[in-house]
Structure 1
Amino acid sequence: MKKFDQINIIPFVDVLLVLIAIILTTMTLIQKEVLPINTPTSKEFSNTIVKDSITISISKDEKIYIDSKVSTMSELKQYFSDINKSKDIYLNCDKESMFEDFFEVLEVLKNKKFENIFIVVKKD
């Protein structure tokens, strides 16, 4: 039997690659927390949501969520002061929510110079 002067790291690298593949596969299957938002319906809509985007949800009990985290209007303003202006923003409002809340959020986004704002609806 031949002795090696070096440690064979190929099996170690193989195990690491398998672990990386498992982690990447698992990460793609993780879904965002679903909020109880009953969105309005529409006959004409596009079904494309970009992964690296921000979702703002407004519930019927006037709570504002940024990517499933409850926020106040002042936190919303602060949050969007530090964000890249080219990010896609999806506005998800409950159909029973106050229009005033929707308008306030839209106004904050407009004042912060965001251009890629999309309104989420259900297919009719």
Structure 2
Amino acid sequence: MKKIDSLNLIPFIDIMLVLLVIVLTSASFVVRSHIQVDVPRLEDTQGQNAQQKKTHSITIDKEGRFFLDDKLLGLGELKAEIKSFEKDTQVIIRSDRQSDLEYFLEVATTLRDNGIDDVYVTTEQK
């Protein structure tokens, strides 16, 4: 009988790589922000599964400060950043309920004027 000198790890590594690829391709990537805002509530919210594309998060806190992907920006800086977005960019707006509607409308108008149509507003179910 032939003695095995070492364990053949190649098939094991192949299986692990296949499992890793499956997990990575089936994982859901959710945009999370670390800025605390109290979002508006709706009676019935139904989420939509968007295709994987470039996603940005714009947050407006109750003091009227603007954050692009958790980075604090002034309104002028935010508008300049929005102008650099590609047309198929997905944007998620998180606005505090106590913030002025004017701030939200300013962001939404800037997005529309720059051809960004894939815009979502974060709400919370009542």
Q: What TM-score does the superposition give when structure 2 sets the normalisation length?
A: 0.70
Change (3 A) 1:29 1:87: closer
d(CA) in 2 for partners of 1:40 and 1:106? 16
- 1:88 corresponding residue in structure 2: 90
- 2:79 corresponding residue in structure 1: 77
d(CA) in 2 for partners of 1:49 and 1:97? 28
**CA offset at residue 32 of structure 1?**
3.7
SS state of the match for residue 72, structure 2? strand
Q: 1:21-100 alignment to 2 at 5 Å?
A: 21=20, 32-48=32-48, 50=50, 52=53, 53-100=55-102
Q: What are the ranges of 5 or more consecutive residues in structure 1 without an aligned counterpart?
A: 1-9
SS state of the match for residue 65, structure 1? strand
**CA offset at residue 80 of structure 1?**
1.4
Cα offsets for 1:7-64 (capped at 9, x unmatched): xxx979x87x979x5xx6xxx8997442111001001212346564111110001111
- 1:6 corresponding residue in structure 2: none
Q: Which amino acid aligns with 2:115?
A: K
Q: Which runs of at least 4 in structure 1 moved beyond 3 Å after TM superposition?
A: 28-33, 48-52
d(CA) in 2 for partners of 1:54 and 1:37? 17
Contact preservation (8 Å) 2:31, 2:57:
no
SS state of the match for residue 86, structure 1? coil
Q: What are the ranges of 5 or more consecutive residues in structure 2 without an aligned counterpart?
A: 1-7
Aligned length in residues = 115
d(CA) in 2 for partners of 1:49 and 1:29? 11
**CA offset at residue 91 of structure 1?**
1.1
Q: CA RMSD in A?
A: 3.1
Q: Which amino acid aligns with 2:74?
A: T
Change (3 A) 1:30 1:75: same
Q: What TM-score does the superposition give when structure 1 sets the normalisation length?
A: 0.71
